[in-house]
Amino acid sequence: MLLLRRLGAVFRSSRRLYSSSGDHDLANTIAEFNKEMESVFGDLPPSGISGSSHNRFTVEKSAITPQECENAVSLTHVGRAGEAQMVDVSPKESTKRIAIASCNVILGKKVFDLVLANQMAKGDVLSVAKIAGISGAKHTSTLIPLCHNITLSHVRVDLHLNPKNYSVDIEGEAASTGKTGVEMEAMTAVTIAGLTVYDMCKAASKDIQITNVRLESKTGGKSGQWSREE
């Protein structure tokens, strides 16, 4: 109640100040009004309201270490202002680069038997998917915006029926000599091949699953050799 009375007094005082015809100029009016506000609320902090979420964010942000900042900008497709960017690979050395990727397409027994017998209405599932995977690798840069348009020296896509879980095992390999890796080309190859298997078989079942798309190994470039098995 005391606070409400003080506020009421402030507003009554402010009306008197603003209705005065000549006793105070505008600057004096504002100064006196500020004094009234300070008498109720106390002095305001120099940078705004204390304890606000903005100030807490500022403190937390300033506590980030240089190491954390370095890690934050280590994503090469993100600029310093957080915008997406295409990496400039011109300073890099050209090396032989190879990448192998894989995925698995779970068909189920009914579809597996149809594919094994080559009885799908659309034709030879594995052959069509193989060609689609090779074509997908060559079009990676048009599918993924920040990938470089590179010249591939070799693309391999192999598909094998796996009777243990009624699936298709797909492996893809991409190779190039240049300044950027071919991991995305290899992974695109197996993904497109897997999608093609689904498209060729979807009339027989909608329950087909494309799983475990992953990089298996890569060689070349600054990071050298890497393998999932190591």
Write the CA distances from 6 to 9, 37, 142, 165, integer angstroms.
5, 9, 68, 79
Angle at 180 between CA 174 and CA 186, to 5 degrees: 25
* Phi, then psi, of 19 in degrees rounded to 5: -85, -10
The dihedral formed by the CA atoms of 196, 197, 201 and 207, expressed in degrees to the nearest 10: -110
Active site residue 88: no
Which is catalytic among the residues 124, 169, 199, 207?
199
> Helix 2-19 to helix 26-41 angle, to the nearest 10 degrees?
180
CA distance 185 to 155: 9
Quick check: 73 and 80 in contact, CB under 8 A?
Answer: yes
User: What secondary structure letter does DSSP report for 84?
Assistant: B
Q: Which residues are catalytic?
A: 199
